[in-house]
Chains A and B, each alone.
Chain A
Amino acid sequence: METYLWITSVWGIYLAAIVFFGGMAWRIYEWSTTPKSPVRLGMFPKPKTKLGRFAKLMKDTFIAPQSAKIEPTMWIFAFAFHVAALGAFVGHARLIHEFPFLPELLGEAGMNTFAAWSGSIAGVIMLAGVLYWIARRTYGPFKNLSVPEDYLLLFLLLGVVTMGDHMRFVYGDIVHAATYREWFLSVITFRPEIPHELLASNVGISLGTHMLFTNLFLMYFPFSKLIHSIGSFSSNLVRSE
C-alpha cells in the first residue's frame, strides 16, 4: 500500500499539477493569440455601460438565468453540482491550513461537526449530480449527442467523488483532517511523507484511489470541454459585444 500511495498521492500529484497548470496556460495562450472575430457577435438586450456588461457577464456565467428558464431540472442539478464542487474545493483548503476564525467561532468540536456536515452534503450533492448526468447521457438526444469524452469525464468524476465520499463516510471517524494535512503539507512543501495513520488502516486504499482519479481528472481537464470553467467568461462576454 505504501508504494500505491507514493505513486498516486505523492508523485502523481506532482505530475498532475505540472500537466494541469501547463495545460491551462497553453489553452489560455492559444486563445489569447488567436485573433478576435472581426464581426461583433453580441446579442440583445445588451447593457450600454462597462459596469452593466460586467454585471451581465457575472450573472450569465454564475446564474445562467436563460438556461434555468428553458431547462429547470438540468439547471438545478448543474447549479447544485457546481456549488457543491466549489464547496468541496474550498473545504479541501483544510488540508493546508485550518480555517482562521471558524474553530474559534465554533470550537474545535463544532468545527469538526460543521466540516463533517458541509463536506457530507457537498459530497452527496456531487454524487447525485454526477449520477444524474450519467443517467441523462444514456437515452435519447442526450445519448446521441454524447461522445466518449463526456463519459470519460463523468467516469473520472464518479471515481473522485465516490472515493472521496468513501473516505468521509467510512473512515471519517477514524482518520481526521490533521492526518491528511500532515501528508498534504509534506507533499506541497516538497518533503513528501506518508503518515503512519494512513498506513495503519485501509483508508490508504481509498485515499490512493481518490488521488488516482483526481490526478487523471486534473491531467485531462485542460484538454477537455471542462475548460468551459475559464472559457465561459470570455464567451459570455461576447454576448454583450
Chain B
Amino acid sequence: MDAQQLTTLAGVIDKKMNRQLKQYIDICARCAICKDACHQYVGTGDFKYLPARRAELIRQVYKKYFDKTGRFVPALYEARDPDDNLLDELYDSAYACTGCRRCMYYCPFSIDTAWILSVAKAILIAAGRGNEMLGQLADAAIFKGDNAEMFNDVMISGFEDIQEEVRAITGNPESQVPVNKQGADILYVALAGAHSIRPAAVIFEEAGESWTISMFEAANYGFFYGDAEKARLITKRYIDEAIRLGVKEIVVPECGHAYRVAEFFYEAWSKEPMPFKVSHILEKVDQYIKAGRITVDKGLIEGKVTYHDPCQLGRNGGKFEEPRDIVKAVTDNFVDLTPNRAEQWCCGGGGGIVAMEEFKDVRLASGIKKVEQLKASGASVLACPCENCRLQIEELNEVHELGLQVWQVIDLVVAAMPLKGKKPMQA
C-alpha cells in the first residue's frame, strides 16, 4: 500500500470520530481486566481475541495519524500504519467479535470495544476487505427492498401456506396471517422462514391482536457487515412499510440484533424520530399472558427448562424479566443459568459469525463457557429468543452431546396453549 492509501484508510477513523470513541481510545489503561470477560479469548486463549488488543489496533493507527503525542513519539505507543499486516489481524478481531459487550460490562471505564470495532469494520470496508458473505447478504436485502414487487407474489403465497398451518394449530378456520393490512396496530417484522411467523401468528390471533405481517425480514446483515448506510437501508424497508400502513407499533421477532437495531440504532442512523414504538415479541407475549389475553397451561412442557439471555436482548437490550416470566408461566420446573442476565455468557454465535464459515473453529471453541453453564444447569430444555444463539447452541448441543432441546420461546408458549387444533411440532 502506498502512503496515500494508508492515509485514506486512517482517515476513516477521523470520519467516524465522536466523543465516546475518542475517550475510549484515550483512556484504556491496558489493564486487561476485560480479557476473561470475552468468551472468544477465554475459549481460544488467542491474544488477538483479547478485547483490549482488538481496540489497540485502532488505537495504534489513531496515535500515528491523529494524536499529538502519538505523532511526536510514535514508539511510545507502538503507533503504526493500517498496512496489510495490521488489517489481517484486524479482520479477524473485528469480524469475529460477536458484539456481546461483555467486555464493556466488566471494564472499569465501561469501554465499548464493540463500538471501537465498528470503526475497524469501516476501515476494512474502505480497504475493500469487508467480509464478503455479510456484504452479499446485506446487498441482497437492499435489493429486495428496492424491488419489492418482484418478491410480492412469492411472499404472499408463502404467508397463505403459513396461514393454513396456523389454522390447523388453532383449530380456528378464521385465523389469519394478515398481509398489507392498512391501519393495523402492529407490524410484525419476522425472520425469513415460517418458524418465526407461525407461532407468532397463533399467539397474535388467539390474543385477538390487530396485526399485520411485514414483507421484510428483521435480520440486518448490514449491521454485522459494519456499514451503517447499508444497515439503515435494510431497516428502512420495514420502517417505510410501517409508516405506509399507519401502524402504532413495530414488533420484532426472536432475534437479538433486530431489536437492538430498531430500538437503539435506527433513529441515530436516519436522524429522525420514529413515529411509533418498537417492541420485542416477548414483551407482547408477556403482556398477553399477564392480561389473560392468551392462556397457557403449566405441565405441558416436560423436563427442566432453562433460559439463555441473548446479549443483544439482555445486556444490550434490557429485556431480562419478560422472557423469564413467560417461561415461568409455562413451567414450574425452571432453572436459571449461572451467571445470568447482564453477566450471561455470550453463546458465541452473535455478530453474524454463524454466517462466516472461516470463523467456525473460533466460534465453536468460544462456546465452551455456554456448554459448561448448560451442563451445570441440568436442564433438558433451553428457551432462547435469538436465531443466531439458537444456531450456535444447537451446534454446540451436537458437538458436545448435551441432549438438549433448543426452543424458541414462542414455540414453548404455543406448546403450552390449550388449543383446539393439532399440536405443532417444535420448529
- Give A contacts to B, CB under 8 Å: 27, 30-32, 34-41, 43-46, 60-61, 64, 66-67, 69-71, 74-75, 78, 141-142, 144-150, 152, 223-225, 227-228, 231-232, 234-236, 238-239
Contacts and interface: CB of A to CB of B under 8 A. Distances in A.
Nearest to B56: A145
Nearest to A74: B33
B104 to A, nearest CB: 6
B19 A66 contact: no
A39 B77 contact: no
Contacts of B115: 37, 39, 41
Contacts of B23: 31, 231, 234-235
A31 B22 contact: yes
B32 interface: yes
B27 A232 contact: yes
A235 B109 contact: yes
B33 A67 contact: yes
Interface of B is mostly: helix
A70 B106 contact: yes
Contacts of A228: 27-29, 109
- The 9 A-B residue pairs whose C-beta atoms are closest, nearest first, are A38-B268, A44-B318, A228-B27, A231-B27, A223-B69, A239-B110, A37-B18, A64-B108, A39-B268
Nearest to A38: B268
A145 B109 CA distance: 17
Interface of B: 17-24, 26-33, 35-37, 47, 50, 52-53, 56, 68-69, 75-78, 101, 104-112, 115, 264-265, 268-269, 271, 314-318, 320, 341-342
Interface of A is mostly: helix
Contacts of B21: 37
A141 to B, nearest CB: 6
Contacts of B271: 38
A43 B56 contact: no
Nearest to B311: A43
A64 B105 CA distance: 10
Given A225-B29, A228-B27, A231-B27, A41 B20 contact: yes
Given A35-B19, A39-B264, A231 B109 contact: yes
B50 A141 contact: yes
Most central of A35, A60, A78, A238 by chain B CB within 10 Å: A238
Contacts of B32: 141-142, 145
A69 to B, nearest CB: 7
Given A41-B112, A44-B318, A235-B110, A70 B33 contact: yes
Contact of A34 (B22, B30, B106, B265): B22
Given A67-B107, A70-B106, A44 B317 contact: yes
Contacts of B36: 70-71
Given A43-B105, A227-B27, A235-B109, A148 B75 contact: yes
B261 to A, nearest CB: 10
B97 to A, nearest CB: 15
Nearest to B22: A34
15 contacts: A30-B22, A31-B22, A34-B18, A37-B19, A38-B18, A39-B264, A43-B342, A44-B316, A60-B110, A64-B108, A66-B105, A74-B31, A147-B56, A223-B68, A235-B110
B78 A147 contact: yes
Contacts of B269: 38
Given A34-B18, A40-B268, 5 more contacts: A43-B110, A67-B33, A145-B50, A145-B52, A147-B56
A235 B314 CA distance: 21
A34 B33 CA distance: 28
B18 A149 contact: no
